[in-house]
Copies of this chain bind each other. A is one copy, B any other.
Amino acid sequence: MMTLYGYWRSSASYRVRIALGLKGVDVRHVPVNLREGEQLLSEHSARNPQGYLPVLELEDGTRLTQSLAILDYLDSAYPTPSIMPKDAILRSRILAASLVIASDISPIQNLSVLKYIRSEHGQEDAGVKKWSAHWIAKGFESLEKMGDPKTEFFYTETPMFFECCLVPQIYNARRFGVDMDRFPKLLSVETACQALPAFKMALPENQRDAF
Which A residues are closer than 8 A to B by beta carbons? 49-52, 58, 62, 64-66, 68-70, 72-73, 76-77, 88-89, 91-93, 95-96, 99-100, 102-104, 106-108, 110, 112-113, 116-117, 120-123, 127, 130-131, 134-135, 138-139, 141-143, 145-146
Contact = CB atoms under 8 A, between A and B. Distances in A.
Contacts of A141: 49
B145 A66 contact: no
A76 B64 contact: no
Contacts of A65: 96
A16 to B, nearest CB: 12
Given A49-B145, A121-B121, A69 B113 contact: no
Given A107-B107, A108-B108, 4 more contacts: A49-B145, A73-B88, A108-B113, A113-B135
Contacts of A64: 89, 92-93, 96
A142 B121 CA distance: 24
A130 to B, nearest CB: 8
A124 B89 CA distance: 41
A50 B113 contact: no
Contacts of A142: 49-51
B76 A88 contact: yes
Nearest to A56: B92
A99 B66 contact: yes
A72 B92 contact: yes
Contacts of A134: 116
Question: Lowest 8 A-B CB distances belong to which pairs?
Answer: A76-B88, A49-B145, A69-B96, A66-B96, A73-B92, A69-B95, A121-B121, A50-B142
